[in-house]
A and B are shown apart, each in its own frame.
Chain A
Amino acid sequence: MPRTTRRRNPRARAEKGIVTIPARKGIAVLVKKGQKVKVVNTHGYQIVDTWAFNSRDLSECMSMEHSRVAINKLVPKPGDSMVTNKRRPILKMIEDTTPGVHDTLVASCDRYRYKQLGAKGFHDSCTDNLWNAMRAIGRKPNETPCPFNLFQNTPFVPGKGIAFKRAVSKRGQYVLFRAEMDCIVCFSACPMDILPVNSGAPTEAHFQILN
């Protein structure tokens, strides 16, 4: 995808309709408090790593380790609010048409992960996608928080470990969130093509902001 396209104001485009999260890439967008954001698994079986930051103070971010306590679950269900590292609600899950399989335990993929998996040379990664997508809108987070891995099917089985399985969400299934504060939401269409988590072929996904 040409850099010029990514540098356009994503929010202006988003409000007109459906925005593409390009295959293997990321995009960040401002979502105002009360607006909803729908994340669509366009082709099915695609993971979307998701982060959210307080738009006024990026040091406040959606935190998996704080959210697990707040929702008393490892994976949220509709009605649950993910919280920030200041324990304030940031994204509330309103609707989930998938089987509800998502992950909050596993770090986003990064250059180090691909090196360990034997990838030669440069490989896209969700961590780089976060930084590039934030840079494209002129913002810089403090850190890479643990992501909310939408549609990721990596169940933890006590005594057996973490199973890296193919996503179960099908074509067109989606998750709908409501922003509980003005926030920058960043999505990455996970480029993992070594482990079978994206069905082997990373694809694009889409999101839409709804008032």
Chain B
Amino acid sequence: MEGTVPVGSIETIPARRGKAAFMRKGQAVKVINTHGHQVVDTWAFNANDPSEYMSMQHSHVAIDRVTPKVGDSMVTNRRRPILTFLEDTTPGVHDTLIAACDRYRFELLGCPGHHDNCTDNMWAATAALGVKPPDCPPPLNLFMNTPFTPGKGFAWLPPVSKPGDHVLLRAEMDLVICLSACPQDVMPINDKRPTEAQFEII
């Protein structure tokens, strides 16, 4: 099947780019922070109906927190489990509150001309598999260290993950996983050194 990644093969998410792959229910994806300071924006869509997708606002209710931990299942906009955290070798710092970066964000940050962004990466990576999401849902921002403090707002900090740290996520339905190696190089969330990351389907 087009877009099927060989099981056990370590695949690269090129720096500043996205990649999507089909996963069968019961398979797991290991998302590896190869160099340790890279955010990976993550989406999941029901493979049979991409209008059902992993939703942060529904998951907040389902997991009763804003940052998932091992054992938590992220749910779709139909409140069905879609990805379960099986392992997390990082200190557990991820984000579910912040939109994927997009061309508008980089315009506002003063970048002239084109800038790679996770939203365009999501559209390109899903289109490459022939999948058409209805919209760009809020992403699960793996490894992103943007803690919110009431009265102070968000801090935009480099990831605390170490090189080679990973999260392992089990597919709870047949799905399309979409991963973007965040190209943000204006804010320090990737330590201003966007790199590639890797994933493996198990």
Q: Which residues of A contact B (CB under 8 A)?
A: 59, 63-66, 68-69, 72-74, 85-88, 105-107, 110, 112-113, 116, 142-146, 156, 161-162
Task: Determine whether the beta carbon of B57 is less than 8 Å from that of A106.
Answer: yes
- Would you call B154 and A161 a contact (CB within 8 A)? no
Nearest A residue (CB) for B56: A65
Q: A69–B105 Cα gap in the complex (Å)?
A: 10
In the complex, how many residue pairs between chain A and chain B have their CB atoms under 8 Å apart?
Answer: 77
With CB as the reference atom, state the residue of chain B lying closest to A144.
B77
Residue B64 at the chain A interface, CB threshold 8 Å: yes
Min distance, Cβ A144 to any Cβ of chain B, angstroms: 7
Check A112–B79 contact: CB distance below 8 A: yes
Given contacts A68-B97, A69-B98, A69-B99, A86 and B77 within 8 Å (CB-CB): no
Given contacts A112-B78, A142-B135, contact A107 B104 (CB under 8 A): no
Segment 85-124 of B: residues with Cβ below 8 Å from A: 97-99, 102, 104-105, 108
* B193 interface residue per 8 A CB criterion: no
How far apart are A188's CB and chain B's nearest CB, in angstroms?
15
Tell me whether A66 and B57 are in contact (CB under 8 A): no
Residues of B within 8 A of A65 (CB): 56, 97-99, 138
Q: Is B186 an interface residue (CB 8 A)?
A: no
Question: A85 CA to B150 CA in the complex, in Å?
Answer: 23
What is the CA–CA distance of A98 and B56 in the complex, to the nearest angstrom?
A: 27
Of A88, A113, A143, chain B has the most CB atoms within 10 Å of the CB of A143
- Quick check: is B192 within 8 A (CB to CB) of the other chain? no
How far apart are A8's CB and chain B's nearest CB, in angstroms?
Answer: 30
Q: Which B-chain residue is minimally distant from A149 (CB atoms)?
A: B57
Complex: how many Å from CA A106 to CA B80?
A: 16
Q: SS class of chain B's interface: helix, strand, loop or mixed?
A: loop
Report B-chain residues with C-beta under 8 Å of the C-beta of A63.
99
Query: How near does chain A come to B74, taking the closest CB pair, in angstroms?
Result: 13
Closest 7 A-B residue pairs measured CB to CB? A161-B64, A72-B153, A65-B99, A107-B57, A87-B104, A112-B79, A65-B138
Separation in Å of the B188 CB from the closest CB of chain A? Answer: 15
For the complex with contacts A69-B154, A156-B66, 4 further pairs of A-B residues with Cβ separation under 8 Å are A63-B99, A65-B98, A69-B105, A143-B51
* A residues less than 8 Å from B99 (CB atoms): 63, 65-66, 68-69, 85
Q: Are B97 and A116 in contact (CB under 8 A)?
A: no
A71, closest chain B residue (CB): B153
A68 touches B79 (CB 8 A): no
Please tell me which one of the listed residues B136, B150, B154 contacts residue A68 in the complex, with CB atoms under 8 A apart.
B154
A63 CA / B108 CA spacing, docked (Å): 16
State which size class the interface on B falls in: 20 to 34
Contacts A/B (CB < 8 Å), 6 sampled: A85-B102, A85-B136, A105-B97, A106-B61, A145-B135, A161-B65
B57 near A73: Cβ-Cβ < 8 Å: no
B5 to chain A, nearest CB (A): 28
Given contacts A73-B153, A74-B148, A85-B136, contact A64 B57 (CB under 8 A): yes
Cα distance, A110 to B58, chains bound together (Å):
10
Closest chain A CB from B75 CB (angstroms): 9
Judge whether B154 and A59 touch: CB under 8 Å: no
Q: Which residue of B lies closest to A64 (CB)?
A: B57
Is A107 a contact of B77 with CB atoms below 8 Å? Answer: yes
Which residues on the A side are within 8 Å of B104 (C-beta)? 86-88
Q: Does B55 contact A (CB under 8 A)?
A: yes
Among A68, A87, A113, A145, point to the contact of B108 (Cβ < 8 A): A87
Q: How far is the CB of A153 from chain B (nearest CB, A)?
A: 15
Contact with A along B52-85 (1 / 0, CB 8 A): 0001111011001110000000000111100000
